[in-house]
Structure 1
Amino acid sequence: MSEIQTEGQMTWKLAGSTDCALHLRHNSSEPWRPYEEFPEYFLPDPKEFSKGYATFLALLKKGWVTV
């Protein structure tokens, strides 16, 4: 996690999707991708947490924004 970009965007639910899990992109010109596709950022979640919550908190501390 030490090599995390300090800019990026995160969202929990994509338009038209019923899946509620963290999605990431580095900038608005990129498509949203599930957080699992970013092994350099991925952190495992405790069982009772939402899918991607540990990764979300770590990226939020690095300056990523929620869209």
Structure 2
Amino acid sequence: MAEIPTGGQMTWKIEGAIDCALHLRHHPSEPWRPYEEFPEYFLPDPRHFSKGYATFLALLKKGWKAV
């Protein structure tokens, strides 16, 4: 995760989604995409945690914003 750009956005539930999982985008003008579509950022989650929790924490430390 050394070369992750800063300033991205993260959300847990997008409009129309049934499940709660991490979604990402680099810029507000981009559509939300599931975190699994970013293999360069993906980190495995501990058992029984929300999908994307480990990735969320790592990106938060890199300056990404939760919206």
* Equivalent residue number for residue 63 of structure 1: 63
- Alpha-carbon RMSD across the aligned residues, in angstroms, is 0.6
**Unmatched tracts of structure 2, length 5 or more:** none
The alignment-based identity, stated in percent, is 81
**Structure 1: 4+ residue segments shifted above 2 A:** none
User: Which protein has the bigger strand share?
Assistant: 1
TM-score, structure 2 normalization: 0.96
TM-score, structure 1 normalization: 0.96
* Equivalent residue number for residue 24 of structure 2: 24
Question: How many pairs were matched up?
Answer: 67
Deviation of residue 48 (structure 1)? 1.5
**Unmatched tracts of structure 1, length 5 or more:** none
Q: Distance in 1 between matches of 2:17 and 2:39?
A: 23
Q: For 1:45-56, what aligned pairs fall within 5 Å after superposition?
A: 45-56=45-56
